[in-house]
Amino acid sequence: MDYFESGYFKYKGNQLFCEDIPLIEIAEELGTPTYVYSKSFFIDRYNEFDKAFAGFDHQIFFACKSNFNLSVIKAFIDAGSGVDVNSEGELIRAMKAGASSRKLIMSGVGKTQSEIKLALENDLLMIKAESEEEILLINEIAGSLNTTARVAIRVNPDVDAKTHPYISTGLAKNKFGVDASTALRLFKMQKYLRNIKYTGIDMHIGSQITKVEPFVEAIEKLGELFLKVKSEGIALEHIDLGGGIGVAYNNEKTFSIEEYAKAVMPVLKKLNCKAFFEPGRYLTANGGILIAQVLYTKKNLDKNFIITDGAMNDLLRPSMYGAYHHVQPLTLTKNKNDITADVVGPVCESGDFLAKNVRITECRRGEYIAVLSTGAYGMVMSSNYNMRRRPAEVLVEGKNFKVVRRRETFEHLLKDEISLL
Ligand code: LLP
């Protein structure tokens, strides 16, 4: 099998390391399944993104839906990032991690009244509105709070991002945003909206996009709208390109952040405004792995199974999107054969797999495996299905590691069920 390595996760001798920590040490000390993140990866990726737009007025807002551990959010804030939140809960997390209000933006196609209120009370840099009814509600709540809401309109540019249908968001048939002509009409309502100040146009056309063309097509459409809005006498301050930049999970070809910058910059330059970005996956996916222990191996007729203590409740992406995550051993052992197997968990569903039909070095009971590229949309999508406790999370920095979230306990899971009938 192929062993994947990077500057952050690599074998030294026969052991897989995260930065300077042998992962076996974490597995033995904390148990499994456990998510392990490389802080240097996060910081390097952020700086790379920031540098690609150097010289252009811009701000990156880490989309913390991809990984909302407080220490991970804090690492990005310390590096200079703002934070994009998609709910009250994420806003509470981002503020707890130390985000300043003027570096916070709120997304969401269905914000509740209390979410809008919380955003306004905390004076967020902007709220991205996705419908006329939401705009009217924001105006009303801002009025009752005696404040002015800074609002961007999320436009659905009707562009095919050519990604998995569940994570494609920029087509007219998707629930997100409003079409460009509706957006123009809503912008023109500015004079009647006494408690709203429009500050920008926003888009997010999907996630795990591996070609730059959809971004260019979309930003060109947004650019046209931006100029029309300007000609109506409404001066917008920024254009928000959202997130969506794809990463390599296997050997797929993606584009570099420099190529992305080169592709979108000509349009941005014409508009003479500030650019906002909301990357999630790009900043986190390949900075995290999930480690798990092999419980059993077996063969049903011709089919090999590696049964681990990591399951779909810990990492949903393979079951939900058929997503590929490379699985490899933590410890390399000589004289082992490769087999074709499914790597599965203990959950009571056939859809519970971490990898399907993959070539993998045969494993034995008790050995550990690493599921790669799980720093984004891993822990945040975990659940307690089968009354399983969510994994622990560890952040590695050079020679040190810290448990940044303890494994859940059964007491914790039961504590809100207060009465027995
Ligand atoms: N901004 C908005 C408004 C979003 O909805 C998203 C992601 C992002 C930014 C960040 O996108 P990214 O840079 O991470 O692609 N659970 C799926 C991904 C769902 C993405 C949802 N929105 C997965 O595991 O692939």
Q: What is the pLDDT of residues 72-87, one digit of tens each?
A: 999 999 999 999 999 9
Q: Residue 104 and residue 75: Cα distance in Å, rounded?
A: 15
State the average pLDDT over residues 290-298.
Answer: 98
Q: Which residues are registered as beta bridge partners of 291? A: 34, 370
pLDDT higher than threshold 90 for residue 230:
yes
**Predicted pLDDT at 100:** 97
- Identify the band that residue 216 occupies on the pLDDT scale cut at 50, 70 and 90: very high
For 237-252, what is each residue's pLDDT tens digit? 999 999 999 999 998 9
Ligand 1 near 187 CB (within 6 A): no
What are the structural domains, with CATH classification, of the chain? 9-38+285-414 (2.40.37.10), 107-279 (3.20.20.10)
For 355-375, what is each residue's pLDDT tens digit? 999 999 999 999 999 999 999
**Predicted pLDDT at 174:** 86
Spacing of C-alpha 16 from chain mean position: 25
Ligand 1 near 84 CB (within 6 A): yes
Ligand 1 near 93 CB (within 6 A): no
Contact 120, 97 (CB under 8 A): no
Ligand 1 near 167 CB (within 6 A): yes
Residues in contact with 298: Cβ distance below 8 Å, sequence separation at least 6, in sequence order: 304, 305, 307
Q: Which residues of 142-180 are buried (b: 16+ CB within 10 A; e: fewer)?
A: beeeeeebbbbbbbbbbbebebeeebbbbbeebebbbeb
Alpha-carbon separation of residue 170 from 110, 159, 337, 353 (angstroms): 16, 6, 45, 30
**Predicted pLDDT at 383:** 98
Q: What is the pTM (predicted TM-score) of this model?
A: 0.97
- Identify the band that residue 168 occupies on the pLDDT scale cut at 50, 70 and 90: confident
**Predicted pLDDT at 163:** 82
pLDDT higher than threshold 80 for residue 421:
no
- Identify the band that residue 171 occupies on the pLDDT scale cut at 50, 70 and 90: confident
- Identify the band that residue 97 occupies on the pLDDT scale cut at 50, 70 and 90: very high
pLDDT higher than threshold 80 for residue 394:
yes
SS (H, E, C) 67-92: CCCHHHHHHHHHHCCEEEECCHHHHH
Residue nearest to atom 7 of ligand 1 (CA): 207
pLDDT higher than threshold 80 for residue 419:
no
**Predicted pLDDT at 333:** 92
Ligand 1 centroid to Cα of residue 282, in Å, is 10
**Predicted pLDDT at 355:** 98
State the average pLDDT over residues 64-70.
Answer: 98
Q: Residue 199 and residue 364: Cα distance in Å, rounded?
A: 58
Torsion of CA 104, 109, 110, 112, to 10 degrees: 20
Active-site choice (18, 64, 273, 348): 348
pLDDT higher than threshold 90 for residue 224:
yes
Q: Which residues are registered as beta bridge partners of 153? A: 129, 201
Closest approach atom of ligand 1 to CA 164: 25
Ligand 1 centroid to Cα of residue 207, in Å, is 5
Alpha-carbon separation of residue 141 from 110, 132, 189, 190 (angstroms): 15, 14, 17, 16
Mutate to test the pocket of ligand 1, among 207, 208, 324, 325 (most ligand atoms within 8 A of CB): 207
What secondary structure letter does DSSP report for 364?
-
3-state secondary structure of 114: helix
**Predicted pLDDT at 167:** 76
**Predicted pLDDT at 165:** 83
**Predicted pLDDT at 420:** 78
**Predicted pLDDT at 117:** 98
Contact 162, 212 (CB under 8 A): no
Is 348 known to be catalytic? yes
Q: Residue 155 and residue 177: Cα distance in Å, rounded?
A: 5
Contact 73, 93 (CB under 8 A): yes
Other Cβ atoms less than 10 A from the Cβ of 271: the count is 18
What is the percent of the chain with per-residue pLDDT over 90, rounded to a whole number?
A: 93
For 327-347, what is each residue's pLDDT tens digit? 999 999 998 999 999 999 999
3-state secondary structure of 3: coil
Q: For residue 359, what are its two tokens?
A: 């070539």
